[in-house]
Structure 1
Amino acid sequence: MDTLNIGGNEGDRFYRYKMPKLISKIEGKGNGIKTVVPNMTDIARSLSRPPTYPTKFFGCELGAQVNCDEKKDRYIVNGAHEAARLQELLDIIIGKNANTQKVIRDCKACGRRTEVDMRHKLVTYILKHPPSTPKGKDGKKDRKNKKNEKNGNESPTSPTRDSAESDDEITKRIVAEAAELPIADKNAKDDDWAVDTSPEAVAKRIKDLERDVRTSLIVDDDDSEGEQEPHESFDEWLEDNNDARNNDVYKKIKELGISKDTDIVLKHLVLHLFPENFQKNDNIEKQIQKRAKLFKKFVLNPDDQLALLGATEKLLNEHKGLMESKTVCKILMGYYQSDLVEEEVIQAWIEGSNSSKYKRLFKRNASVTYADEAINQDIRNKAKPFSNSIVSIE
């Protein structure tokens, strides 16, 4: 397996600290495409960190959901990502190098220990998921870890490791000589990289930590790895951008990957794009015609037409001011004139699922009913004048 110098120090070919080169494997297609890192465990072992930390960092930086299955040794980042891009992000996390228990970063080459950026979402994740005792390849605790735990000693991953652990002779001699040096005076001035332990600095760090934890409890859900559902994101975006152009709305739908969820997309579009204009009860047909091109992207067959009418039932149910026969007929006329709904589908909707002629159509679209049946029947009764007017015209 190819190896790299940890931290991107490629100028020193004899650098002691190395790691495996990151490998990425893209699986799936369409909305289900994902990137698997097969050697994440080996990479994390060389960094002395749990493999979930770098994986979570990838998700935070790329704005993607991640899935960590430690039992199956599978670490996944949603979306298609090249190995070179993930390697760049890995170099960033090596720079941060967060020690999970003390929230510091420590360099194994020079021993420098400094605080990490407490504002990053990865720090919140680390505080909630402290590392477990390192395990061997067979999934059991290493024999050395068991012995240390039994004797009450520190884990081999502790910063105060045994100086005799896999060091060369020169390093052993340096460590032995360092152990004989006198302990520094407590009143001596700290080095530039030392942690400030004054009461003011400690109080400030605690305050910052509490703020980050409160923020994470609001916006970071562990079950969803801190990511919001696409439909919820679209609903919030429409609420803030109900005057957006048709092209911008359609681009947002494609960006979130929900274009195939016709029923839900139509519901969001109807509930957010029409209420304010419909409440004015003027130029309803004009407002529908303005959005007709956008709706035609999703209304492609009778099933979709019935879904549009189901979303309209939800709109009328939430805005009682629209529950007038005249307004209901205006909305249907707008759909009809914009070629969004055909006559026979409107007839099927008004007659309801009891109509033997359209019973099959309703059976396929049972999920598009959003309001109480009694309310739906009231809406359909108010729509009958429109149905009669179409029949009379023909």
Structure 2
Amino acid sequence: MDTLNIGGNEGDRFYRYKMPKLISKIEGKGNGIKTVVPNMSDIARSLSRPPTYPTKFFGCELGAQVNCDEKKDRFIVNGAHEATRLQELLDVFIKKFIIIGKNANTQKVIRDCKACGRRTEVDMRHKLVTYILKHPPTSPKDSAEGSDDELTKRIVAEASELPIADKNANDDDWAVDTSPEAVAERIKDLERDVKTSLIIDDDSEGEQEPHEMLDEWLEDNSEAKNNDVYKKIKELGISKETDMVLKCLVLNLFPDNFQKNGNIEKQIHKRAKLFQKFVTSLDDQLTLLGATEELLNEHKELMESKTVCKILMGYYQSELVEEDVIQAWIEGSDSDKFKSLFKRNASVTCADEAINQDIRNKAKPFAKC
């Protein structure tokens, strides 16, 4: 199996920290296309991280849903993704969550270097941190037998080869005790230091993520003016996380207003300037449509053909989504014009494919307008 130096330094042939080169396998077609990483467990072992962490990181960076089945050793990222692209993202994951770096912010997730013992903080704003906090790494006490990482295995192997002291020898008092008991004790100390690579601070419990705070604020202030909503988003520091922001806005601002105030196109136009700050690319347009699928899935009373078409018309008239993008969204990944767009955003939809298809079928009259 090809190996790479962890964290770069590809020119150093004698670099001691290595990992397997990522392998990807694309399966399925159409809306069901997905990318499997067959050697994710091997990669994760070399990084001393659970394989779910880098897999979830791929999902965060690509805006794609992932499926992690540790029992079957199967790790999937929805959509078609080349191995080179995933390898690039893996390098980013290593830099953010493994390699030691400077960071002056107060953090909750900490990197613990096995080589030098230095501890540094990671960027708590990344979406993966939410998953790590909810799924902390297994502690040394709870680790199953045989789950040692490669460095621990090497330490144990080298320690077991240490010479046993001759009980009859007249060693000096300062000599290293190499008796089986002493060796075993030193191995335990090394394992204790090596196994725990990510430490979760206890005071992180109960704290909310910025997008959760935005959800609650919008729920209580659904009639707030656009400027006030935008100021709140800036205050929470998530103005650049467009996919998260758009989802929060759609799911919290539209349901009550659509039902109470009617005239859906007018309600969308009222919020158009706010949404335009976050819809600046084709990817953002598709993200907005994906968030709308979630809205319709959660509020079945809105899932009527005329209502779906009114929502799309509101987006179109407010210049939030182009007609071609709506047409491509209705056609799904079979759309020739935006095939690459759908590959990048294969999972910016609600989870149930049958519901997705139902929504798009109800939207077809819009394409005929």
User: What TM bracket, shorter-length normalisation?
Assistant: 0.3 to 0.5
Higher relative contact order (CA 8 A, sep 6+): 2
Instruction: State TM-score, norm by structure 2.
Output: 0.47
Larger Rg: 1
Q: So what's the TM-score if we normalise by structure 1? A: 0.44
